[in-house]
Amino acid sequence: MIGTTLTESSLLMAFEHKTGDIFDTKLPAIGHGVNLYGVMGAGIAKAIATVFPQVLNPYKEACKTKQLTPGTMQYVQVQNNPAFYILNLASQDRPGKHARLEWVESSLEAAILFCKTNNLEGFAVPRIGARIGGLAWEDVKEILERVALQEPDVLVEIWSLPNADD
């Protein structure tokens, strides 16, 4: 499913639902939910720490120094040519079922602003805050789509695993 909005007679893409492995994205960034304890021990965060271990120390330092707070975003450039970023979206204050919809929303807005400011086409994001974070997928999905439609020049790919419940 692709969400679109009409601007100046041209159809622009704001979000696209994808199924599969988020690491297959062609976009220049992956955003994912993190806690503020400096722990990437489960879900997509653990996979990101495994694939891009250079993300871990800046993330831990941002948590320790309180530069990363609920609802904010930290970016880490993990590749230079072409540039590729991991966007740590602070969707929960601690590990477990502690994500909040308002933190998901504001961290997504920060990620979109980062992409727009840095002329990035967009970013891929999993079902942030759902499952491990404890939020209902339908509520998160509505926020993802609504926030993406606010800035149609930045594509947000919303990734689900093939066996994910809808």
Are the C-beta atoms of 90 and 106 separated by less than 8 Å?
no
pLDDT at residue 33 greater than cutoff 90: yes
- The per-residue pLDDT for 18 is 96
Question: Residue 12's pLDDT band (boundaries 50, 70, 90)?
Answer: low
Domain residues of the chain, as ranges?
Answer: 13-160
- The per-residue pLDDT for 85 is 98
Superfamily in which the 13-160 domain is placed by CATH: Leucine Aminopeptidase, subunit E, domain 1 (3.40.220.10)
**Whole-number average pLDDT of the chain:** 91
The model's pLDDT over 13-28, given as tens digits with 9 standing for 90+, comes to 699 999 999 999 999 9
One DSSP character per residue, the chain reads -EEEEEETTEEEEEEEEEES-GGG--SSEEEEEE-SSS---SHHHHHHHHH-GGGHHHHHHHHHTT-S-TT-EEEEEEETTTTEEEEEEE-BSSSSS-B-HHHHHHHHHHHHHHHHHTT--EEEE-STTBGGG-B-HHHHHHHHHHHHHH-TTSEEEEEE-TT---
Percent of the chain whose pLDDT exceeds 70: 91
